[in-house]
Structure 1
């Protein structure tokens, strides 16, 4: 185990990585890819990012395929209308070209690529390269992949997005993560959730979208290409986490970082995780009593093992065999002399 000082440094470094992404620090992550599904939607994560962006007076632009207008401080672009791909890119550029720092959120990259036929390279060059802003895109993992009609050998859209992203955040339900951990501790097969179950009619499991918080499996891409992976827990924000908003600001600044490593969460770090107790109730009960009584324990301690006396001898005598002849033994003197 690493020394305590090294562990503290490791935790501080890991929290700093995710904090830079959530707080939109300069050059922290030009393109952040968020992966979610019906078992854990990314709405809590996006809400937290938007609040932090508005608290820093960042221009927030939401290109929406799935949601209506949410907050008056957000520049909302309804992409589900009659916009073509070129018109949509023009609207995005018009909303960020007059500001110093912007955040562009695409709530469905699947629809952006397949419905509007927008090239991700062109969008990235526009937002991250030309205007030095941050691009965040959401991709739903339970969407069926659509083959490329022009090039059958083209890689899937999700693979291209993962290749381009500088940070990948995968959303998991906290309850499902606890269930998987409980299964691992008992050497049982990990439970599958949602579409992975393969059960007819099941697309969202029980305990999906756990209200206690959201688990984030993060992969940070360094400029050298070496990735760093960590798993975090993000709870819902409270009023006490932010300072009071000053005049002219929508939200106050963040007081302290409340994103923690998953290993630091008490409900996850317990020796017996949540869900293991209920799993123990399913153990088959044996019809045999495998425990020993006090009398049986005393009898077991009194048993002399073979060659036990030989082990008490002095040096050089260890391992000698002690044998006492009985009445039924036939002693042959001539054979003994040979």
Structure 2
């Protein structure tokens, strides 16, 4: 029964991630990607652009930090040092109402730290029935405190997570496996990059693993139900297909290694526990007279003691 449920979850979630990456229908009008220095979202963006080309969609790329337009882009918008109102009008003019369009924003930081901008209203204005928004938010970039401070307004990231229909979080495969191995052994999980708090360390070992990335998905259906899953996303140039992380050979191998080490520890403990006895101990045990030994003999009278009469 468990195998059947696992197979059903595998098939269902793989079809869902393929539908999201393939931009089929209106499965996710607003997709939020949370990345960091340890694992960039660029490989995921290339997957989206490639699938948009296959679907013959227009791709509008709003750049705050990308100096050169990636291949496959229909329209490239340089948004550096430009007002949000100006950008809103230009984006609206480039989005076609007759053709499906993928709108990519490579960095939401300028919008998130703009205290005069109503972020939910801005995002709602650029998302149309024919336009899907794909926006990147750098989770390791701190935001400046708002001026004046507003204790009632939620943080920008909270607003973005509330508005998004799909949230993708990227992780380095090597770093993710290192944390898993430590957690399985009840050890302190390693930290990477700035969290190491070492002078001169900005990017940790294993960051932006070229073998692929770990993709955490949190998809919200129209019914309100959340679907959470973790995938392995291979590089765009690879012939591999996206799979569940638990089906990845390196992930499964770590589970087998942990199981083998646990079995070896149990075998070692059992080998040091000896139930054998010496010849002298055996003779001493045979010479012990058990209580009520006479009661085991024939007769109702029990033992051979004196007659009380």
TM-score, scaled to structure 2: 0.80
Distance 1:271 1:125, change over 3 A: closer
Counterpart position of 1:136: 134
Cα distance in 2 between the residues matched to 1:14 and 1:197: 34
1:267 aligned residue: 250
Aligned to 1:70: 70
| 2:59 corresponding residue in structure 1 | 60
Runs of 4+ in 1 over 6 A off after TM superposition: 301-304
Counterpart in the other structure of 1:253? none
How many angstroms apart in 2 are the aligned matches of 1:102 and 1:292?
67
Following TM superposition, by how much is the alpha carbon of 1:131 offset from its aligned partner in structure 2, in angstroms? Answer: 4.4
Paired with 2:179 and 2:252, the residues of 1 have a C-alpha distance of 13
Structure 1 residues 77 and 301 mapped into 2: Cα distance closer, same or farther (>3 Å)? Answer: farther
SS of the aligned residue for 1:155 comes to coil
Q: Secondary structure at the match of 1:215?
A: strand
Partner of 1:331: none
Structure 1: unaligned runs, 5 residues or longer: 242-257, 281-288, 309-320, 325-336
Match of 2:172? 173
In the alignment of these two chains, the number of paired residues is 282
Moved more, 138-147 or 264-273: 264-273
1:260-301 alpha-carbon deviations (Å, 9 max, x no partner): 110010110125578x7xxx9xxxxxxxx98968xx957359
Cα offsets for 1:237-262 (capped at 9, x unmatched): 34757xxxxxxxxxxxxxxxx21110
**1:62–1:322 distance in 2 versus 1, CA, 3 Å:** farther
Q: What TM-score results when the alignment is normalised by the length of structure 1? A: 0.74
Query: For residue 276 of structure 2, what is the aligned residue in structure 1?
Result: 299
Contact 2:170–2:216 under 8 Å retained in 1:
yes
Aligned to 1:21: 20
Q: CA deviation at 1:223?
A: 2.4
2:201 matches 1:202: yes
CA deviation map 1:10-43 (0-9, x unaligned): 1011112211211112121111110011000111
Name the counterpart of 2:150: 152
Query: For 2:94 and 2:277, how far apart are their aligned partners in 1?
Result: 83
- The superposition leaves residues 98-117 of structure 1 with CA deviations (integer Å, 9 ceiling, x where unpaired) of 54200111111012332595
Aligned-partner Cα distance in 1 for 2:244–2:179:
17
Q: How much does 1:53 deviate?
A: 0.7
Runs of 5+ consecutive residues of structure 2 not aligned to the other structure = 262-267, 294-307
